């Protein structure tokens, strides 16, 4: 009779070791108890041998046999109390050694009491002290020996040869986890660090082999296939140099993100591919969370442009502060739908109200404010694409200026406590319509400074990954095989991440008394062509070889460098190191309203020439682009070039409105 083995049954030669291992695991506590009892007995016997110079008399041997059961009972009970009869010895750490020391010291105290209080005459003082030291050495040493053996066996396991860059705390964490987890397919060959004092030292048995400048040589010598970058505090330029060397050697590379981006858990689970943000060096900021929480918790908050990049990130950040209600005002139905779907899944406990509408619809604004009575408003709605606004100047003025005016005045009418407008570095010495309209919007905020509602603006530069920004455009061009288009080789811009921008906006909302322009710390400006090259390299390709870079020339209204403050604007520190405040100047509301009346007439008449002239009067630093000047000259001589525009006119409310007033 033949016996047929099932298909998924282990081979016979594998059954025995697996069964033996399972048997040992099932009796692990008994095995630990037996081993520790044996070590305790050996410690006591060795203590007596040392006491009597390795010549035990018959009386000493009798004493050992007589007292051993008592010693075992006391020590094993204390070991059990300190949790030393369970756990995995392969994961022994400093905490386990400390527990062994505490348990052994407690046992010695018991023996001291028995000797000197009860006069039991069990041991001499020297035997008790020697036994204490040997117990710690034997039990701690046995555990560490098991851990060392396990890690050495795992270190020799098959896997891709790996170098860890960084011999600091993050590097230690990576090394420790790799030694404990052979299934991760990393065979650790060594560490790399630029600190010369660390050269040759060992971390958890792994040697520091050299500096990052030696990476190509080390990669070749040790046949490295993977490089893990574990330097959370490194600057963007440092990461860029390391990545460049890895790419030259054609090895895989990943990074452990900054500690602020990590949550509790295994470090190796959070190792990810290097992103362009790592090369720019923008790390998550530290916020005064308690101050923001006091400002926003339990409040009704309205966000205009809630479906955009900044608006939606503001909504996500606000959700963590448990507002009473979030009101999302957005005219793009699709963007608003996506935001609501995300909130329904990620923030089910947060009450939110989607409002499809335009900031130019005064009737809708009144109904929205009357229904929800927001405490704070974050005004993120705006047209922001520079070339488009150059050819659609009337729409830029209507949306960015009159839309801001509408929302601000209705916020004042309905007693909103705080109004924060998102501005742009393009408002500084503007050379385009988008920038000058944002500057006029800032002037509206400054003119409303002395009101019950605290009006302020937050000015910052480009945001990585925002809708229509250069990053997704480059990614799309690289995916299509190129070319990647850059306007000018010396074009530079300030960049920050979307979460960082939103967080600093929230921080700025807790500051000031109204009428301020807050400026966020943007770091150093980045050359756009360098950003393009880094992005191509991170895609596993080589710039100018695999993907060409083409310079297309400056677009209408663009300038090579952006600025964050005007001449004469005093920059002052605030309570947060990454937020500064400007002395924006003094403007009366009557003066600003007179300007807006002029702009309204020019927009209604479709007068480009008059519009450019009016914007220059309002913002003397405005330098119109050649395209705008050309269009202005055509309009000046061709009176038939007219467009009919309508704007919802918002009547000026009474100067003094009771604090608790609500206009129906």
pTM to 2 decimal places? 0.62
Q: Are 472 and 430 in contact (CB under 8 A)?
A: no
Sequential DSSP letters for 13-57: HHHHHHHHHHHHHHTHHHHHHHHHHHHHHHHHHHHHHHHTTT---
Asked if domains 157-274 and 289-589 share a fold, the reply is: yes
Q: Are 136 and 104 in contact (CB under 8 A)?
A: yes
Range in 103-112, 142-151, 185-194, 598-607 with the lowest mean pLDDT:
142-151
The Cα 498–Cα 312 span in angstroms is 10
Q: Under CATH, what is the fold of the domain 289-589?
A: Rossmann fold (3.40.50)
Instruction: Label residue 135 left, alpha or beta by phi (over 0 means left) and psi (-120 to 50 means alpha).
Output: alpha
Strands 571-573 and 484-486: unpaired
pLDDT at 213 (0 to 100): 85
pLDDT one-digit tens code per residue, 602-644: 898 888 888 888 999 999 989 888 777 776 656 554 443 443 3
3-state secondary structure of 403: helix
pLDDT at 640 (0 to 100): 38
Q: Which residues pair with 517 in a beta bridge?
A: 457, 582
Q: What percent of the chain has a predicted confidence (pLDDT) above 90?
A: 17
Q: Which residue has the higher pLDDT, 39 or 521?
A: 39
Mean pLDDT of the chain: 76
Grade residue 368 by pLDDT with cuts at 50, 70 and 90: very high
The Cα 316–Cα 10 span in angstroms is 51
**Residue 565, number of CB atoms within 10 A of its CB:** 18
pLDDT at 558 over 70: no
Nearest Cα residue to 50 out of 128, 118, 115, 114: 128
Nearest Cα residue to 32 out of 85, 103, 89: 85
pLDDT at 422 over 70: yes
The Cα 97–Cα 95 span in angstroms is 5
Query: 157-274 maps to which CATH number?
Result: 3.40.50.720
Mean pLDDT of the region 383-406 = 91
pLDDT at 268 (0 to 100): 45
Nearest Cα residue to 537 out of 237, 245, 223: 245
pLDDT at 257 (0 to 100): 65
3-state secondary structure of 385: coil
User: Which pair of tokens denotes residue 653?
Assistant: 């409310």
Q: What are phi and psi of 206, to 5 degrees?
A: -105, 130
pLDDT at 161 over 80: yes
339-340-346-349 Cα dihedral, nearest 10 degrees: 140
3-class SS string, 584-648 = CCCCCHHHHHHHHHHHHHHHHHCCHHHHHHHHHHHCCCCCCCHHHHHHHHHHHHCCCCCCCCCCC
Rg of the chain over all Cα atoms, to the nearest angstrom: 35
Range in 1-10, 93-102, 256-265, 610-619 with the lowest mean pLDDT:
1-10
pLDDT one-digit tens code per residue, 294-318: 888 899 999 999 998 889 989 998 9
Range in 123-127, 194-198, 344-348 with the lowest mean pLDDT:
123-127
Boundaries of every domain in the chain: 24-152, 157-274, 289-589
pLDDT at 644 (0 to 100): 36
Cα of 304 vs its chain's centroid, Å: 25
Grade residue 275 by pLDDT with cuts at 50, 70 and 90: low
Q: Which residues contact 257 (CB under 8 A, 6 or more apart)?
A: 232, 270, 272, 278
Sequential DSSP letters for 415-473: T-SEEEEE--GGGSS--SHHHHHHHHHHHHHHHT-SSSSEEEEEE--EEET-TT-HHHH
Mean pLDDT of the region 259-264 = 43
pLDDT at 587 over 90: no
pLDDT one-digit tens code per residue, 456-471: 888 877 666 566 567 7
pLDDT at 661 over 80: no
Strands 454-459 and 186-192: unpaired
pLDDT at 248 (0 to 100): 81
Q: Which residue has the higher pLDDT, 350 or 63?
A: 350
Grade residue 503 by pLDDT with cuts at 50, 70 and 90: confident
pLDDT at 140 (0 to 100): 75
Nearest Cα residue to 242 out of 271, 259, 260, 219: 219
116-118-122-125 Cα dihedral, nearest 10 degrees: -10
Mean pLDDT of the region 177-192 = 75
Angstrom CA distances, 448 to 437, 489, 516, stand at 17, 41, 10
Range in 263-277, 345-359, 575-589 with the lowest mean pLDDT:
263-277
Sequential DSSP letters for 170-239: HHHHHHHHHHH-GGG-EEEEEEE-S-GGGTT-EETTEEEEE-GGGHHHHHHHTT--EEEE--TT--HHHH
């Amino acid at each position: 009779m033949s016996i047929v083995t099932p298909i998924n049954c282990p081979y016979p030669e594998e059954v025995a070791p697996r069964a033996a291992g399972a048997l040992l695991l099932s009796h692990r506590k008994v095995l630990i108890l037996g081993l520790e009892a044996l070590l305790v007995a050996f410690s006591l016997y060795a203590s007596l041998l040392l006491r009597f110079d390795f010549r035990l008399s018959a009386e000493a041997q009798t004493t050992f046999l007589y007292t051993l059961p008592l010693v075992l009972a006391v020590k094993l009970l204390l070991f059990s109390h300190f949790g030393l009869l369970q756990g995995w010895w392969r994961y022994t750490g400093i905490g386990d050694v400390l527990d062994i020391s505490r348990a052994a010291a407690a046992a010695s105290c018991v023996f001291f009491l028995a000797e000197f209080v009860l006069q039991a005459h069990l041991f001499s003082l020297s035997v008790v002290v020697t036994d204490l030291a040997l117990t710690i050495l034997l039990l701690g040493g046995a555990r560490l020996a098991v851990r060392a053996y396990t890690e050495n066996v795992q270190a020799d396991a098959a896997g891709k040869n790996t170098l860890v860059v960084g011999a600091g705390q993050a590097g230690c964490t990576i090394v420790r986890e790799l030694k404990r987890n052979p299934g991760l397919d990393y065979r650790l060959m060594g560490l790399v660090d630029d600190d010369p004092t660390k050269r040759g030292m060992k971390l958890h048995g792994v040697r520091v082999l050299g500096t990052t400048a030696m990476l190509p040589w080390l990669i070749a010598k040790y046949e490295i296939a993977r490089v893990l970058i574990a330097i959370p505090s490194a600057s963007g330029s440092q990461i860029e140099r390391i990545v460049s060397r890895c790419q030259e050697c054609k090895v895989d590379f990943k990074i452990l993100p900054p500690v602020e981006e990590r949550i509790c858990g295994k470090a190796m689970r959070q190792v990810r591919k290097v992103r362009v943000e790592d090369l720019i060096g923008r790390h998550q900021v530290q916020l005064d969370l308690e101050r923001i929480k006091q400002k926003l918790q339990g409040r009704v908050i309205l966000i205009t442009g809630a479906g955009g990049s900044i608006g939606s990130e503001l909504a996500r950040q606000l959700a963590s502060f448990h507002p009473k209600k979030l009101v999302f005002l957005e005219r793009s139905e699709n963007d608003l739908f996506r935001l609501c779907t995300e909130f329904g899944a990620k923030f089910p406990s947060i009450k939110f109200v989607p409002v499809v509408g335009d900031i130019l619809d005064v009737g809708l604004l009144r109904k929205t404010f009357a229904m929800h009575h927001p405490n704070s408003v974050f005004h993120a709605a705006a047209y922001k694409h520079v070339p488009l606004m150059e050819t659609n100047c009337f729409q830029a003025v209507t949306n960015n200026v009159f839309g801001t005016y509408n929302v601000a005045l209705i916020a004042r009418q309905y007693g909103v406590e705080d109004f924060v407008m998102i501005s742009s570095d393009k408002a500084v010495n503007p050379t385009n319509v988008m920038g000058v309209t944002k500057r006029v919007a800032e002037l509206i905020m400054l003119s409303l400074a002395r009101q019950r509602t605290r009006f302020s603006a937050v000015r910052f530069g480009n945001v990585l990954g925002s809708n229509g920004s250069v990053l997704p455009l480059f990614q799309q061009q690289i995916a299509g095989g190129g070319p990647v288009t850059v306007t000018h080789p010396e074009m530079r811009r300030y960049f920050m991440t979307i979460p960082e921008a939103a967080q600093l906006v929230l921080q700025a909302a807790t500051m000031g008394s109204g009428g301020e322009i807050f400026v966020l710390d943007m770091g150093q400006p980045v050359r756009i062509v360098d950003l393009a090259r880094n992005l191509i390299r991170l895609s596993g390709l080589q710039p100018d070889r695999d993907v060409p870079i083409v310079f297309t020339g400056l677009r209408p209204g663009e300038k090579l460098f952006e600025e964050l403050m005007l001449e004469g604007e005093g920059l002052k520190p605030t309570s947060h190191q990454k937020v500064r405040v400007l002395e924006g100047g003094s403007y009366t509301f009557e003066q600003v309203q007179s300007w807006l009346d002029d702009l309204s007439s020019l927009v209604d008449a479709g007068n480009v020439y008059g519009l450019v002239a009016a914007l220059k009067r309002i913002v003397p630093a405005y330098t119109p682009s050649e395209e705008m000047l050309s269009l202005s000259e055509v309009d000046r001589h061709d009176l038939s070039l007219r467009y009919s525009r309508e704007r919802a006119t918002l009547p000026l409310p009474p100067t003094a409105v009771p604090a608790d007033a609500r206009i129906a």
